[in-house]
Amino acid sequence: MRNLRTGLLTAIALGTMISVVHGQSAPGGGPGKRSAAATGQQASRPAATERAGQEPNRAPGAPRVTRPPLFLKADWQQSAQAGEHPVAPNSLTDPGLELKLYVPSGEILLTGTAGEENNPVHVWLGLCTSPCAVAVRQKTHFADLTGLARIRWNTKMSGFHQVRPIVKLADGTWLVGDHADGTTRDWLVNEISYADVRWLKLDIARVVTVGNFVENVDLSKVDEIGFADLMPGSGHGPGGWSDVAQIEVYGKPVAR
- Above pLDDT 70, what percent of the chain? 77
Tell me which residue of 222, 238, 228, 102 sits closest to 171, measured CA to CA.
222
> Looking at residue 204, what is its pLDDT?
98
6 has pLDDT over 80: no
Q: Count CB neighbours of 215 within 10 A.
A: 7
Confidence of residue 57 (pLDDT cuts 50, 70, 90): low
Q: What is the Rg, in whole angstroms, of the alpha carbon atoms belonging to the chain?
A: 32
pTM equals 0.76
pLDDT, residue 62, reads: 73
Q: What's residue 8's pLDDT? A: 41
How confident is residue 64, by pLDDT bands cut at 50, 70 and 90? confident
pLDDT computed for residue 56 by the predictor: 56
Assess whether pLDDT exceeds 50 at residue 30: no
Q: Which of 202, 198, 191, 196 is nearest to 228 (CA)?
A: 202
Q: Is 72 helix (H, G, I), strand (E, B) or coil?
A: strand
What are the tens digits of pLDDT across the range 154-203?
999 999 999 999 999 999 999 999 999 999 999 999 999 999 999 999 99
pLDDT for 25 beyond 50: no
> What is the reported pLDDT for 44?
46
Q: Taking the alpha carbons of 50, 54, 56, 59 in that order, is the dihedral positive or negative? A: negative
**Which residue stretches of 118-245 are H helix?**
none
* Neighbouring-strand partners of residue 46: none
Helices (H), the chain: 2-25, 30-51
Band the pLDDT of 103: cuts 50, 70, 90.
very high
| Of the listed ranges 36-50, 54-68, 173-187, 211-225, the one predicted with least confidence | 36-50
pLDDT classification of 81: cutoffs 50, 70, 90: confident
Does residue 244 carry a pLDDT above 50?
Answer: yes
Q: Distance (Å, rounded) from C-alpha 52 to C-alpha 212?
A: 46
Average pLDDT score over residue span 85-110: 97
Domains defined for the chain, CATH in brackets: 2-51 (no CATH), 70-255 (2.60.120.430)
Amino acid at 165: P
Residue 117: per-residue pLDDT: 93
Q: Which residue has the higher pLDDT, 187 or 16?
A: 187
